[in-house]
Amino acid sequence: MANINNNRTIKINVFISAAGQVFIMFLGLLIPRIMIGGYGSDVNGLVSTIGQMFTYVNLLEAGIGQSARNMLYKPIAENDRASVNHVLSLAQNDYNRFTILYIIGVVLLALSSPLFINTNIDRRTIFLIVIFEGMAGAVSFFFTETDIALLTADGRGYINNSINVVIKAAAYLAKIILAVNGINVVILQITYFFITILKALLYRAYRKKRYPWVNISKVCHEVLPDRNAYVITEMAWVVFSSTDMIVLSMFIDTASSSVYSLYNLIFTNISSLMGTIYFSVAYLLGQTYFKSMDDYARMHDSFNSVFVGIMTIMMCVCSFMTIPFIRLYTNGVADIEYVYPSLPAMFCAVQLLSWSRYVAGNLTGIAGYAKKTSVISLIEAFANVVLSVLLVKKYGICGVLFATITVLPIKILYCNYISDKVIMKRSSKKTLAILLVNAVIYITSVMASRVLSVEPASYGQFFALGLCIFLLYGFVGLAANMMVNKDMINTIKKLFLTKGD
């Protein structure tokens, strides 16, 4: 199993994660433009809404996966194969039970979706899209998620990312080919279902080769500790994250969802890039926590500085470049207006606030505070739904985004308080300094973007201007984060430059 100090593993994880996600982002950006041009905004809005529903419904399994990963860190660090097999058996049995409930949920959603989605598309098409999207998720839960948990906890996230790149590339290319040729959108979903089966076969083949000693028991009556708390937390995140587009589809129309989905595409791609890199090295946090609290605290702060800092830099660039990108991307699309200058700042704020609790939220799970955190997650989700419904009719997209921004600080404050005061038993000054300095940088960029407009005439100019802004804010962000967290550079050097054991 992987050694925590194996710098080669860390470098491979980061490189493959970043390169693979950039490639997927490029392909992913082609899909909506082809969908809008070939089928119109209504169909694109429908497919995006259903896709988002399942993206977040699929996150429900993360409750099981998160619990399994947290239990695997210790036996992997101690090379205890018997305990690893026990945890994997618990996880697989939970996934088996969850898959049955998931399939029932898919059928119910397929029957009800045509009734609450406001669209001109026929009900049969909606039903079939939901069914095949859902069945692809069922295959993943039953056959691959346990393997993903093992690889992630063992520091082999690069294998997950490599398989993910292959599968997503195949899915995107298939969608592009079918959409360009005007094939019915239902066929797109059927194709994705069969590609998901290929993904399951790849994971099973790798596990047999790399972990021949793994023995998952079919008879296991125990359940993962805190599994229900993790499931509740993920369920709350599902509701919280999917509220905006679903509320727009129900109370406005799917064309508005198409507008939202295009902006959301930009920011979810950036967040996915960051998340892929983060989760490829997050095992370092889990394994370090069980070895040394002092080392963990330094790594905790360094992860905060690096990931919140990079996200801040990216959002500063987005504050300038989102509207120019939307203008270039939707050039020639006339069925609905896509340019809304007020939206970028709100989407950026959602990402920054979300990433301000990533590391702290991870620690609350590792340290056994999942149950308490799940209560806060439920409060957050409920508040977001209520505010979104109240504001959507009058303020539309801005209303649902404002609801999200208003509610996000609840969990930020809770997770960081528990992490600093309760678990690490220290002052919150370091965490506050890291978050505040990045907030100030972002706010100044938003103010500057209102004064200095950017109008590239081509994609070449767009990328050139974006690179200049990135370098400028990259220098500012690095300097500011080094100033408030002097351990950041030393931790990075230790992880990437020193030789492992």
Burial of 258 (0-12, 13-18, 19+ CB in 10 A): buried
Q: In angstroms, rounded to a whole number, what is the distance separating the alpha carbons of residues 292 and 34?
A: 51
The predicted pLDDT at position 445 comes to 94
Q: Please give the C-alpha separations between residue 22 and each of 25, 56, 241, in angstroms, as whole numbers.
A: 5, 22, 23
Q: Please give the C-alpha separations between residue 220 and each of 58, 87, 144, 211, 256, in angstroms, as whole numbers.
A: 24, 10, 19, 20, 47
Residue 113, pLDDT above cutoff 60:
yes
For residue 74, how many C-alpha atoms fall within 13 Å in the half-sphere facing its CB?
A: 10
Which parts of 58-144 fold into alpha helices (H)?
62-77, 81-116, 123-143
Q: In angstroms, rounded to a whole number, what is the distance separating the alpha carbons of residues 171 and 193?
A: 9
The predicted pLDDT at position 415 comes to 92
The predicted pLDDT at position 501 comes to 45
Residue 180, pLDDT above cutoff 80:
no
Confidence of residue 362 (pLDDT cuts 50, 70, 90): confident
Residue 298, pLDDT above cutoff 50:
yes
Closest CA to 162 of 279, 286, 19, 341: 19
Residue 428, pLDDT above cutoff 80:
yes
Please state the rounded mean pLDDT for residues 225-231: 68
Tokens at 234, concatenated: 């993920």
Q: How does pLDDT run across 140-176, given as a tens digit for each residue? A: 888 888 898 898 888 887 888 888 888 888 888 887 7
Percent pLDDT > 90 in the chain is 26
The residue type of 366 is: I
Please state the rounded mean pLDDT for residues 193-208: 91
Residue 392 · residue 251 · CB < 8 Å: yes
Which parts of 117-253 fold into alpha helices (H)?
123-143, 145-153, 157-180, 185-210, 227-251
Residue 142 · residue 96 · CB < 8 Å: yes
Please state the rounded mean pLDDT for residues 466-489: 91
Domain range list for the chain: 7-496
Residue 432, pLDDT above cutoff 50:
yes
Burial of 335 (0-12, 13-18, 19+ CB in 10 A): exposed
* Mean pLDDT, the chain, whole residue set: 82
Q: Which residue has the tokens 């001109």?
A: 120
Residue 498, pLDDT above cutoff 60:
no
19-28, 365-374, 394-403, 484-493 — most confident range:
394-403
Residue 437, pLDDT above cutoff 90:
yes
Closest CA to 434 of 297, 317, 319, 280: 297
Please state the rounded mean pLDDT for residues 298-320: 93
Q: How does pLDDT run across 249-273, given as a tens digit for each residue? A: 777 776 677 788 788 888 888 888 8
pTM higher than 0.75: no
The predicted pLDDT at position 500 comes to 47
Q: In angstroms, rounded to a whole number, what is the distance separating the alpha carbons of residues 51 and 286?
A: 31
Q: In angstroms, rounded to a whole number, what is the distance separating the alpha carbons of residues 11 and 482?
A: 22
Closest CA to 112 of 134, 96, 95, 97: 134
Residue 28, pLDDT above cutoff 60:
yes
Q: In angstroms, rounded to a whole number, what is the distance separating the alpha carbons of residues 223 and 221?
A: 7
The predicted pLDDT at position 99 comes to 86
Closest CA to 446 of 357, 350, 349, 327: 349
The predicted pLDDT at position 369 comes to 83
Please state the rounded mean pLDDT for residues 348-376: 88
The predicted pLDDT at position 316 comes to 95
Sign of CA dihedral 437, 442, 447, 449: positive
Residue 216 · residue 146 · CB < 8 Å: yes
- At residue 136's C-alpha, the angle toward residues 131 and 138, to 5°, is 90
Q: How does pLDDT run across 51-68, given as a tens digit for each residue? A: 766 765 666 566 778 788
Burial of 332 (0-12, 13-18, 19+ CB in 10 A): exposed
For residue 450, how many C-alpha atoms fall within 13 Å in the half-sphere facing its CB?
A: 8
Count of residues in the chain: 501
Q: How does pLDDT run across 161-171, given as a tens digit for each residue? A: 888 888 888 88
The predicted pLDDT at position 6 comes to 59
Closest CA to 31 of 130, 193, 172, 196: 172
Q: In angstroms, rounded to a whole number, what is the distance separating the alpha carbons of residues 321 and 473?
A: 13
Please state the rounded mean pLDDT for residues 35-47: 67
Tell me which of 128 and 440 has the higher pLDDT: 440
